[in-house]
Amino acid sequence: MRNGTPGFQASRLVEARESRGLTQLALAELATRTSSTISRWENGTQTPEPDALESLANVFNLPVSFFLKPIPDHGDAPIFFRSMASSTQSLRRRARARLRWGQDIALTLQDWVDLPALDVPVLDATDYRDIRDADIENMANTCRMRWGLGLGPMSDVLLILENAGICVIKEEVGSAQMDGLSSWSAVDERAYMLLAKDKDTCVRSRMDAAHELGHLVLHRHLKEKNLTEIGAFKEIERQAFYFAGAFLLPEESFSSEVWSPSLNAFVALKERWRTSIGAMIMRCSSLNMMDEEYQRRLWKHYSARGWRKKEPLDDDLVPESPRLLARSVKLLVDERVRSCRDLLEDFRLPAADVESLCGLPRGFMSNEEAEIVPLPKLKARPSEPQFEKITAGQVVPFARRQ
């Protein structure tokens, strides 16, 4: 290996490029290097000189220290994507890199704060073909009972997942084709999921979250190779969707409220269950509450009303947002354990990325405390009472009403 930058992590360069959605050729043009040089840097046969590394850092808007930080070994647990089509390869790579950055942030935060203990039941199945629909129904009910949710509608799915110790990230991924992804990390034995907010409706977000929960619960012990087989991938996705329906719409309670499996009935139930009309149709079908002919006619009327693009109440129900990472950052800052500047150095990421991945307000990590400038004061007149001098930061008690 030629002389370059000691400690340079080639995998971090790949991660940065994929996170920014760049190809090797595009990066080469931006960094004024050849694509073959970029390739050698990424495969580790050569490392960039310090000036070249500085140039890369500027291209990515990342600190140089980012490229010197070893990547944690998250293990061989598969990452579950909604689509494995060739057209979504670059989106998958970018989303995976963003998930990894979210995991980096969470791992760093755990040096300072205790996140909720993980409490996620997992099905002991190593082959997706061994999973039956009855197993899926049972695991969905197990999650509800274990988390004390009962059988009624859930007010906030993301809050429930975070209370169970799952780290949830929600940000725009650049395309409506990518709904979300999830994976387990061997570093902290914690589950992570990233949800896309490009089409951020309440019901879609809840379904995406429940779908990813299905993967985490049902498919933790599956192998990555299962996701490369078309038939296997379709069945694994079907199982996750089935779990989502069973988790959001329990058989016992939901079926008792469907007085008629009609579109008008589903519209009336949507606000209460905060689940899409399409998902309710699928759930009724899986519970044998309608035959195939009736379901086809229902979908025909559903499409005729234009609901495949937008359903009633989609603009009225407020989307849910993750809280865990944002609250952890704010806790450290508010308690003066770490400043925003300290945390950015810990994360080795720019403020904009941290804010996006943690769900923090824009500018939260970059705004430094303003300098306190003493304002001029009016002189007290002789006839006015003289007050005792108050030191900076002293709390002035107000008189209480009798």
Per domain, the residue ranges of the chain are 10-68, 80-249
Contact 41, 64 (CB under 8 A): no
The mean pLDDT of the chain is 89
Confidence at 173, pLDDT banded by 50, 70, 90: confident
- The one-letter amino acid code at 104 reads D
Residue 7 has a pLDDT of: 94
Helices H, strands E: what count in the chain? 16, 4
**41 has pLDDT over 70:** yes
Which ranges constitute the DSSP H helices of 113-248? Answer: 133-146, 157-163, 202-218, 230-248
Instruction: Give the distance from CA 6 to its chain's centroid.
Output: 33
Confidence at 378, pLDDT banded by 50, 70, 90: low
Residue 19 has a pLDDT of: 95
Pick the range with the lowest mean pLDDT from 19-23, 121-125, 276-280, 381-385: 381-385
Contact 269, 166 (CB under 8 A): no
Q: Hey, how many other C-beta atoms are within 10 angstroms of the C-beta on 314?
A: 17
Collapsing DSSP states into helix, strand and coil, what is residue 106? helix
**Is residue 122 classed exposed, middle or buried when 0-12, 13-18 and 19+ CB atoms within 10 A define those classes?**
middle
**109 has pLDDT over 50:** yes
Q: What is the pTM of this model?
A: 0.88
Give me 323's structure tokens: 């809280």
**215 has pLDDT over 90:** yes
Give me 142's structure tokens: 């197990």
Instruction: Give the distance from CA 277 to its chain's centroid.
Output: 24
Sorted by sequence, the CB contacts under 8 Å of residue 170 that are 6+ apart come out as 158, 194, 195, 196, 197, 205, 321, 322, 359
Thinking of the domain 10-68, which architecture would CATH place it in? Orthogonal Bundle (1.10)
